[in-house]
Structure 1
Amino acid sequence: MKMYLREVDAHLGALSREDRVLALEALAAQLDELAEAGIDPVEALGPAQDYAADLLDALTSDSPAENPNLRVLGVPVELRGPLSAEVRSRTWNPESPQLFVPRLLGAGWTVNLGALAVRMRLIRPDDATSEVLDQIPERAVRTAQLTPFVIAAASSGALALTWKRLPARVASGFSLTGRRNRTGSKRALAATAALGVGAALWAAREQTSTEDQLVRTASATTLTAMSASVIAASILDARRRRGRWGLLVPATLPLGIAAALAVIVLPLRAGLRRAWRAAGAGAGGTA
């Protein structure tokens, strides 16, 4: 295993020191998993030179889907939204080292979960291959798709339980310090809850590839988490107006990103384990 790691390292001369360290640490972790399973790395990953060449190509190539056509004062503006498969794909592109990409709708940027997973050493840039995706258990996909439903159900349930006690007008906007600065009809909270439920239903559609199902689920998870934070902040503000409940909304963003990352990475790693076992069984059968 250590010899394979050294051989890969010898062919990564074109990488920056930071990318080389991240790539080798991720590979070392994967080699440990293969060793525990008793699988030869050459059988699972291919020759070290070929692996290094694929890794270099993944880390140095640019993806045209990351850049929308419209920019205002240098800020990217996306008008197509997450219903476009091309737009959705930029939020999960582990082959690109670019961490921040144009957001799915509107102006600004969002996180490339694929690049984040690679930087966190959860996967390698070339792990999300069609062979691995085909090995993802159906149950893992279904479990991932439950995540936005659970979040949407929890926020909708909380709203239903407190609906009669809420005033006719509730907080609809908050300042940077978390204090309410706008109010609106409490019916807007019902629309926010419906948005979360709609996103979860949209993510559960089966007429798409496994990868797109997981990317849809990640987008829906982030959206339902944010809608839940808005509902929670408004409910708490209605009960205790002196609190800085608006700070719940930005505080939920990293939690939403973490949950979105989990609903893709966990099924993908399940597919990787099955692919490695299949490769090991194939190697044993030909020995």
Structure 2
Amino acid sequence: MTTHRDAHYVDAVATHLTHLPDHIRRIALDDLRGLLASGVAPDELGPAEAYASNLVIGFDPEPDPTEPQASFGIPFETRGATDPRVRSRLWDPQNPKILVPRLLGGGWMVNLGAVAVKLGLLRPDDWDDEALDRVPAWILQAFRFWPIAYAAAALAAATVAYQSGDKVPTHFSVSGHPDRWGNHNVAWIPPAIAAGVATWGALPTKGDDRMIRPALAIYGSGVAAGIAAITAYSAKNPTRRAPIAAALAIPFAGMVKAIALPVALGVRRSWRQAGHKQA
């Protein structure tokens, strides 16, 4: 049972932990309450300030990857390209939230792991690094280099757009018709972005990021290729509606496939192995 003296000690320690992220502070104080409830006296733990200093050394100060970097009424994030823990929001079956902070910029995105759990396709504890290790390496390798094909397609489309005239469309109306035009050199921007994203996606990584990073690269390079394609199409056919919806839907479908296929294979092989052990 926690006494008034114990509660006072917890409050004193808490005042020295205010600089820590909330989730780290919460864990530290819960552990302290557990110690006190087990019969350890505050005197045995030493002064509150000293105990708090030891806690800071013992806990990882990294931020909670499920929390946004900042919030201005909507979550805001910039770490998606550099932090695999932040990228893990895209596939996090253990997080029940379907809408999570975006990896770059402001707003929300879909946690595909939570969607899979809600649909009954797997349980939160079905997925771990061992499950991904059971996926054939060539499949993960293929997804790593898929964005290179998108970059090549973007380059081909940009060449068509560049050669079509002195101007190319730079903005489209809601109906899909070009309503703003710029110098034809703008056509080279999408393939440059696609190439950069493809290079980033092919970099080696570990853990679930072996699946998540290529999936995001497929989406990013695919969107860039889609933009290049509709730019070329509208440069050649300025009065026709550009297939913008398809240009965005295809890369998203590719990203989902780059996660769904490894997950399906990994989980299936895990279940088979568990069945063999029980037999």
State the TM-score, normalized to the length of structure 2.
Answer: 0.69
TM-superposed deviation, 1:237 = 0.9
Distance 1:195 1:181, change over 3 A: same
TM-superposed deviation, 1:226 = 1.2
Unaligned runs of 5+ in 1: 1-62
- 3-state DSSP class of the match of 2:239? coil
Match of 1:98 in 2: 97
- 3-state DSSP class of the match of 2:124? coil
Q: Does 1:264 align with 2:259?
A: yes
Summarize the alignment of residues 119-198 of structure 1 with structure 2, pairs less than 5 Å apart.
Answer: 119-160=118-159, 162-163=160-161, 165-198=163-196
Distance 1:196 1:118, change over 3 A: farther
* Aligned-partner Cα distance in 2 for 1:94–1:75: 23
- Contact 1:93-1:113 within 8 A present in 2 as well: yes
The one-letter code sitting in structure 1 at the alignment partner of 2:260 is V
Distance 1:254 1:279, change over 3 A: same
Per-residue CA deviation, residues 118-165 of structure 1 (Å, 9 max, x unaligned), is 3444433222212212222211211222332222222323333x2553
**Selected match of 1:255 from 250, 263, 277:** 250
Q: Count residues in correspondence.
A: 217
Match of 1:49 in 2: none
* Aligned-partner Cα distance in 2 for 1:267–1:69: 29
Distance 1:197 1:80, change over 3 A: same
- 3-state DSSP class of the match of 2:76? strand
- Contact 2:227-2:247 within 8 A present in 1 as well: no
Match of 1:38 in 2: none
The one-letter code sitting in structure 1 at the alignment partner of 2:81 is P
* Aligned-partner Cα distance in 2 for 1:122–1:252: 28
* Aligned-partner Cα distance in 1 for 2:148–2:207: 18
Distance 1:119 1:187, change over 3 A: farther
TM-superposed deviation, 1:224 = 1.5
The structure having more radius of gyration, on CA atoms, is 2
How many percent identity over aligned positions?
35
**Selected match of 1:213 from 210, 219, 226:** 210
TM-superposed deviation, 1:260 = 0.8
Unaligned runs of 5+ in 2: 1-62
* Aligned-partner Cα distance in 1 for 2:241–2:135: 43
Match of 1:89 in 2: 88
Per-residue CA deviation, residues 25-68 of structure 1 (Å, 9 max, x unaligned), is xxxxxxxxxxxxxxxxxxxxxxxxxxxxxxxxxxxxxx942321
Q: After the TM superposition, which segments of 4 or more aligned residues of structure 1 sit over 4 Å from their partners?
A: none
- 3-state DSSP class of the match of 1:66? coil
The one-letter code sitting in structure 2 at the alignment partner of 1:151 is Y
- Contact 1:75-1:108 within 8 A present in 2 as well: yes
User: Which deviates further from its counterpart, 212-221 or 173-182?
Assistant: 173-182
* Aligned-partner Cα distance in 2 for 1:121–1:259: 22
TM-superposed deviation, 1:214 = 0.9
- Contact 1:203-1:213 within 8 A present in 2 as well: no
- After superposition, the CA RMSD in angstroms is 2.3
Higher RCO (C-alpha 8 Å, min separation 6): 1
